[in-house]
Amino acid sequence: MAPPVDRYIAQMRLNHPDRVEEEMYDLLVGDTFRTFAGHFGLTTSLRIVFTPSRRAERLRIGGESWLIYDQYLGQTFNILNRIFFNAEGEREAIAYFHKYIAERTLEYGQAELGIEPANFYADQKDLLRKTVDCDPLRAAFTILAEQFAVFHELSHEILDSGHDFAGFYMGIVADSIASKREFHLSRTAESVVEGFRNGNPAAYHDAPLDDVIAETLADFDSPEQVLGREAYITALDDPDVAEELFCDFVACDLALMGGIGEDMELRDALRALYIASYHLKTLDHVDRAMDGILLPGQSPQDHQSHRRHRSQAMQVRNHCLRDHLLMMYGARLLDREEDERSRLVSEFAVDLMKDQRRYYEAVLDPATKTASFLAEPGRLQEMAAEHDAPLRTFALNRPDADPAMARNALASITILKQTGWPISAIDRFAAKLRD
């Protein structure tokens, strides 16, 4: 009989084990994972899968603790990094997130809703092929993103273990949150404007300063801005946000402790970890946006009521992690003169602000636009109506099969084909769907 973890994967994931590269991942993260797990007294083992789910998850089953990492998530990081470095507009990310959302409908068991997004991706995928991979850092960014994802999940285990390290590091998180709360509560329209006047233009995306000041003064006390500031404070008080910050911070530390390539500068490694955190938060943001449509029992009102909190929680994590990375960078410059160290940290802060701007423009904003468009009530259902007739005919021609299951099977296979899965994978999934 297969081990419990394998039975779980077979039942819960559309796994394609032939695509898993065990040796590569053992070299990439396996040895380091085992070293860190052992150091903290954890018995958690790492298992690699290849599924459309793109999820890293923790699992306790059969008396064993597992961290299941999806190799397809690594491929997703690779594509997102390619878009981040090379995309010339929003179209590449919009095309990719149609694919992402189409494949997510498989896990929700609502594949019919994913056919049209999959078709859109199939029509637009050449945009991604034309995104020239001209930056040598892309591969290194992807490796660090995968390590960050694995160590982020391991950090949840470290926190749950009650290890002294967890208590110490939660103190660092608490200090970071307290600093953000004090700064945020002290902000006024005038202090924000003064910060713009004295700061680097990268802080306001190099827009004309007079326009930025005028917009700030006009909007600061608007109902939307007031609600946003209130949601930010609420997010600072959210214990889930604190836990995610703990895992972000520790994942960065573990990734650097595991070693970076000799050809990669420290500053670039920290940038890679910053972008990795954005990748995970962007995917989660899209998932949450689609929950109201794809999860039974979720009303649009319930979904809408949490949107502002999620957005501000993301901002809290972004701001605190950026400060943590600056602290990590400065701590590795203690052999420099104080003036030089201050200058280098300030330059790096500008680099991170520019990376944030680039990420929003190339990845996060188009991802949000795509999810918001497809998550409009009734949108996916309206798009799916075009495919109702062939799906109904397919089900009628299989009188021995449950009609809903037959329709979902054909829709699932269509999505896999249109989003570029190989024939061997489609055959495997088709067999799984027939079982």
Q: What is the pLDDT of residue 130?
A: 66
User: Any idea which residue has 């992807």 for tokens?
Assistant: 142
Q: How many domains does the chain have?
A: 2
Query: Does a structural domain hold residue 102?
Result: no
Are 323 and 399 in the same domain? Answer: no
The count of C-alpha atoms lying within 13 angstroms of the C-alpha of 410, restricted to the half-sphere facing its C-beta, is 18
Q: Torsion-angle region of residue 69: left (phi > 0), alpha (psi -120 to 50) or beta? A: beta
pLDDT tens digits, residue range 147-185?
Answer: 999 999 999 999 999 999 999 999 999 999 999 999 999
Are 348 and 293 in the same domain? Answer: yes
Are 292 and 423 in the same domain? Answer: no
Quickly state the pLDDT bin for 98 (edges 50, 70, 90): very high
Name the token pair of 427. Answer: 């055959």
As a whole-number percent, the residues of the chain with pLDDT over 90 amount to: 66
**Which among 377, 396, 420 is the end of a domain?**
377
Q: Which of 254, 110, 94, 95 is nearest to 169 (CA)?
A: 254
Are 348 and 395 in the same domain? Answer: no
Q: Which residues contact 347 (CB under 8 A, 6 or more apart)?
A: none
pLDDT tens digits, residue range 302-328?
Answer: 555 567 788 899 999 999 999 999 999
Q: What is the pLDDT of residue 109?
A: 87
Do strands 64-70 and 45-49 pair parallel, antiparallel, or not at all (unpaired)? parallel
Q: Which of 282, 249, 284, 248 is nearest to 356 (CA)?
A: 282
Q: Provide the 3-class DSSP secondary structure of residue 358.
A: helix
Quickly state the pLDDT bin for 405 (edges 50, 70, 90): confident
Cα separations in angstroms, 134 against 96, 179, 267 = 19, 39, 20
Query: Does a structural domain hold residue 234?
Result: yes
Query: Does a structural domain hold residue 99?
Result: no
Quickly state the pLDDT bin for 377 (edges 50, 70, 90): confident
User: Cα(318)–Cα(314) distance, rounded to whole angstroms?
Assistant: 6
Does 391 score more than 80 pLDDT? yes
User: Do 112 and 407 meet the contact criterion of CB atoms below 8 Å apart?
Assistant: yes
Tell me the DSSP string of 43-98.
--EEEEE--TT---EEEEETTEEEEEEEHHHHHHHHHHHHHHHH-SSSHHHHHHHH
Query: Which structural domain, as residue segments, surrounds residue 417?
Result: 385-434
User: Cα(397)–Cα(394) distance, rounded to whole angstroms?
Assistant: 5
Are 403 and 259 in the same domain? Answer: no
Do strands 57-61 and 64-70 pair parallel, antiparallel, or not at all (unpaired)? antiparallel
Query: Does a structural domain hold residue 104?
Result: no
User: Cα(208)–Cα(201) distance, rounded to whole angstroms?
Assistant: 9
Quickly state the pLDDT bin for 263 (edges 50, 70, 90): low
Q: Which letter, b or e, does each residue of 240-256 get, where b requires 16 or more Cβ atoms within 10 Å of its Cβ? A: ebbbbbbbbbbbbbbbb
What would the mean pLDDT of 230-240 be, rounded to a whole number? 94
Are 165 and 203 in the same domain? Answer: yes
Query: Does a structural domain hold residue 271?
Result: yes
pLDDT tens digits, residue range 208-234?
Answer: 888 888 998 889 899 989 988 999 999
pLDDT tens digits, residue range 108-133?
Answer: 889 999 999 999 999 998 887 766 56
Tell me the DSSP string of 247-314.
HHHHHHHHHHHT---TTS-HHHHHHHHHHHHHHHHHHHHHHHHHHHHHSTT--HHHHHHHHHHHHHHH
Are 372 and 265 in the same domain? Answer: yes
Query: Does a structural domain hold residue 284?
Result: yes
Does 203 score more than 90 pLDDT? no
Are 253 and 344 in the same domain? Answer: yes
Are 63 and 157 in the same domain? Answer: yes
Question: In a 10 Å sphere around its CB, with 0-12 CB exposed, 13-18 middle and 19+ buried, how is residue 43 labelled?
Answer: exposed
Are 364 and 397 in the same domain? Answer: no
Query: Does a structural domain hold residue 105?
Result: no
Are 257 and 285 in the same domain? Answer: yes
User: Cα(141)–Cα(138) distance, rounded to whole angstroms?
Assistant: 5
Query: Does a structural domain hold residue 126?
Result: no
Q: Which of 24, 96, 111, 18 is nearest to 409 (CA)?
A: 111
pLDDT tens digits, residue range 271-295?
Answer: 999 999 999 999 999 998 888 777 7
**Which among 330, 355, 377 is the end of a domain?**
377
Q: Which letter, b or e, does each residue of 14-34 get, where b requires 16 or more Cβ atoms within 10 Å of its Cβ? A: bbbeebbeeeebeebbbebbe
User: Cα(231)–Cα(306) distance, rounded to whole angstroms?
Assistant: 10
Measure CA of the first residue to CA of the last residue in the chain; give whole Å: 19
Are 363 and 398 in the same domain? Answer: no
Does 426 score more than 60 pLDDT? yes
